[in-house]
A and B are shown apart, each in its own frame.
Chain A
């Protein structure tokens, strides 16, 4: 279990560092975290650091179990202090909701036309991770005061999170059980992106067993739970009593629901996955060279020579890379050495899994198998097995593997060095492939999608998918790695990559769910992404503005016209950009030049700043004395219905109202005058071309 935790912890630590700038956590990734795991806050909107939390919690629990190891079997025997509270029966109506602590609990909730019930298994989006988390809704409620909808989620872990050293099975999940923090979290309902098809394959009689086709069509299945208290996976039957059968087992309703989801989800998936895939791939491609570069840097010159003698045709290529990296060598070396040590295994894995995914089917299994064996540091075996596979390989692959094999043989010396060489070798083969078969690669991607569906029928394809999946998983690590490197800002190229990544993430988010306009805006304003446009053609609609600005500027996320003042001759609009940079660019461009809409409307742009909160709405008189006198904080006041009325002409308020009315009249007149004048100026200008407008006279009272 140790390495698993270490990895989790590392991942958590890294992500903390990258995303929250907590360098301390990552400084010593192998040691337990110095800062305590953040407790699940009641309202963590974008589920920050959930994964990290999980990692931390697990690490802590790891320590706990070490302590408890003295008293074995104590931990499992302890009843779980309801990590997930007894679930309410499914199918309960919302109006049956009970109230407590200012929360209104409910058993179903719909969002974007999709209805979520208790015990549904859902994907939860976390912008920092490429793959959504999976969890089961244990409770749902609406905060009475805040009005936000939140849910208590019982997590699932993915196979690779639990057993990183085993062959990944991307479809298998583990239910998290235990009594520690992190088993469940409270999250915002907004971060739930949708249901997913997960079925329990337990043989328990209480479980309505899914059919084989159900399992095949499901996104995930689970039959084991991961007990964080004992750090082991246990069959779900063992934790049923602690958690409750409703949480674990399929119900008929759920199975039906799963079948139903299947239809849409499947089409959706097949529609979007090639896109995502190719995106991921291209990112992969971007990242790999950087990894490779680093590796090459670390290698001694001797090896370079060796290599170049061995592979005459490839020599040129590597030389080029060497050329590039040599320049950076000096800078990078210091940083890279320590880090590389850390990421060695993961990198290797990445590359390893890359290789099989490129090879043709039958070999995949062998090499895949060997790759995992190789993890136990037996590079020789790999060589042997690869030889076997070479026999059947296509000529291109044959050549490739042979080279690989040749090389590793020549470098069959001490183990440490051997490992490095192995990497190098895989490197080379990767490179070879890249150069050889860009097309082949593409084909491969295309193939991978349909094959995903055939997974049940062919063992070999399953293996292949595994490797692809592993590849994908590793990609997240390499991403983190990439980002940490960025902190040492080695070269701009990487920066570009990460920038591209963030935008990709954004796009991805959009695929899941369009951000509501308001939210987008609220986030955009402090980030400086929002531009305010004045002098907009009043006949333009939001769609018009959006279309126009998307055609003119890069990175326009959203645009909207503001509700117009009735008498104002011009309209205003707001444009939200994806990044501050693009907003600034657009702003300066509009300042420098002139953007003419419809040949008549030069746009005036300005940045929207956070509005300073003024104390209160003028005209809303709240009297402290009155408040105290009437004891307004009581229940009565809360329940009192604010009345709206036309005031009678014999009251104080009527007098006040008249004063306001007077002011309103004056204001209105001023505005009308001003706009009339402006309109006239504009008219003159447009017709005569010269502007003889006098200074505005602001006839204030």
Chain B
């Protein structure tokens, strides 16, 4: 009865079998990998390739598709670098500076990968204990507790879903604000541009007795 989340990453190293070496390989890969979050859904593999190529040699790229997300939700991308050092470097760089992929002003986030982020990870070889799976039905001795437990889990799931929804709203709000701000900015720049183009600026400079050094 340990607390919930087992980091389930690198642990014991028993029998040396084929599966074991495979798992070891996988774990090494995990150490070399980093996860990018908040990536635009329009991202493509070559895009990531060039983006992360700035930090080292990219070995493999996997765009993780969460089927539950909408087509336009932020994507997560698993990137495998040449060695753990490069991966760590990339994570550090991206965390410290706003890194924009595809010029999207929303910067991506990067974290070092852990095993559970890989949907198709291999089975841990030392896990020879059979998975138990049982039904608890109303009326069974443990039902009350179990049901309570289930309700708790359900509530947690709902909370998480609520949080996700709130986050999404928040993100949209920010995006909206930024868009407006940007539009204003562009309007401003356009007006300045027009001023220059239509020689208004020259008149103004004359009027105020200032020297305009444009063009």
Contacts and interface: CB of A to CB of B under 8 A. Distances in A.
Interface of A: 518, 521, 525, 530, 532, 534-535, 538-544, 547-548, 551-552, 560-564, 566, 568-572, 574, 589, 592-602, 604, 608, 611-621, 623, 625-626, 641-647, 652-654, 656-661, 663-664, 666-667, 670-671, 674-675, 678-679, 681-683, 685-687, 689, 691, 693, 696, 698, 700-701
Contact of B153 (A535, A544, A589, A644): A535
A346 to B, nearest CB: 44
Contacts of B131: 540, 544, 547-548, 597-598
A661 B4 contact: no
A321 B93 CA distance: 80
B100 A653 contact: yes
A623 B65 contact: no
Given A569-B4, A661-B107, A620 B69 contact: no
Contacts, number: 284
Given A569-B5, A698-B159, A644 B50 contact: yes
B120 interface: yes
B5 A599 contact: no
A691 B70 contact: no
A598 B132 contact: yes
Contacts of A589: 135
Given A615-B72, A621-B179, A679-B3, A644 B170 contact: no
B interface bracket (residues with beta carbon within 8 Å of A): 35 or more
A158 to B, nearest CB: 40
Nearest to B108: A644
Given A574-B67, A663-B174, 15 more contacts: A530-B67, A532-B68, A541-B122, A547-B131, A602-B153, A604-B154, A619-B105, A621-B178, A643-B103, A647-B107, A657-B100, A660-B107, A671-B163, A681-B152, A691-B148
B123 A544 contact: yes
A659 B153 contact: no
A280 to B, nearest CB: 35
Interface string B168-201: 1011101101110111011000100000000000
Contacts of A595: 133-136
A561 B64 CA distance: 12
B116 interface: yes
A344 B124 CA distance: 60
B62 to A, nearest CB: 9
A612 B160 CA distance: 19
A543 B118 CA distance: 13
A418 B107 CA distance: 84
A551 B50 CA distance: 45
In the A-B complex, the 3 residue pairs with the closest CB atoms = A619-B106, A644-B51, A657-B98
A597 B4 CA distance: 13
A594 B150 CA distance: 7
A535 B156 contact: yes
A526 B73 CA distance: 19
A571 B118 CA distance: 12
A184 B54 CA distance: 49
B107 A657 contact: yes
Contacts of B40: 617, 619-620
Contact of A679 (B5, B105, B160): B5
A623 B156 contact: no
